[in-house]
Amino acid sequence: MTPIPAPSPNFDVRKSPPDMIVLHYTGMQTGEAALARLRDPEAKVSSHYVVEEDGRVFTLVAEERRAWHAGVSSWKGERDINGRSVGIEIVNPGHEFGYRPFPEAQIAAVIELVAEIRTRWTIEDSYIVGHSDVAPDRKQDPGELFPWKRLAEAGHGYWVEVPAAPGQAIG
C-alpha cells in the first residue's frame, strides 16, 4: 500500500510511541470535503489517514506526530488519546448525512492499513477501537455498520458474539 500524500498542518509533538488505533467515519458528505477540513489550519482537526470509499488511502500526518482526531476522550483511564493513537478517518457521510454500509474496497484498505500500522508499532487488539469507544457520550462513529467482526477475523481487534439464550423468546 502506498498512501497518497495530503499533508495537514494540524499536528504537534507526540511524547511516546502510539499504542492505539482509533477508527472514525468522516461524517461529511464527500471525501473531498473531509480532506479539505482535515487540512484546514482554522479547523484544528486532523487524522493520520483518510480511507476513501474506493480504497484509496491518504496520509495527512506522520504516525510519529500527534494528530488531532479524538478530542475529549479516554481509554482505560488514559485521557490523551491523540497522544497515544493513530487516527484513521473512513469516508462515510455518517448518521447526519445518510449513513451507509462501508464498501468492500474501503474495508479491504482499512484492514491492510491497520495491518501495516501494527508492523511499525506495538498495538494490542484491545487498543483497536472506535471513536465511540473513547468518547461514548459525544460520538457514535464508526457506527453500527462498521464490520468489526471482519476486522477481528483478519487478526485485528476483538469481536464477541453472545450466544442466544436457550429457551423460548418472550414477546
Give the tens place of pLDDT for each residue, 31-47. Answer: 999 999 999 999 999 99
Query: What is the structure's pLDDT at 170?
Result: 59
Whether residue 64 is predicted with pLDDT greater than 60 in this model: the reply is yes
Query: Does 10 reside within a domain?
Result: yes
From 89, 96, 116, 153, the catalytic residue:
89
Percent of the chain with pLDDT over 90: 92
Q: Is 89 a catalytic residue?
A: yes
Query: Does 108 reside within a domain?
Result: yes
The three three-digit cell numbers of residue 163, written as one number = 450466544
Q: Are 128 and 111 in contact (CB under 8 A)?
A: no
Domain range for 32 is: 4-153
Query: What is the structure's pLDDT at 161?
Result: 83
Query: What is the structure's pLDDT at 167?
Result: 66
Query: What is the structure's pLDDT at 164?
Result: 74
pTM confidence score: 0.94
Query: Does 162 reside within a domain?
Result: no
Query: Does 168 reside within a domain?
Result: no
Of 13, 103, 7, which is closest to residue 50 (Cα–Cα)? Answer: 7
- CB burial of residue 137 (10 Å; 0-12, 13-18, 19+): exposed
Query: Does 96 reside within a domain?
Result: yes
Query: Does 47 reside within a domain?
Result: yes
C-alpha triplet 34, 148, 54: angle, nearest 5°? 40
Over the chain, what is the mean pLDDT? 95
Query: What is the structure's pLDDT at 169?
Result: 57
Number of domains in the chain: 1
Q: Distance between CA atoms of 113 and 111, rounded to whole angstroms?
A: 5
Q: Are 158 and 150 in contact (CB under 8 A)?
A: no
CATH number of the domain enclosing 92: 3.40.80.10
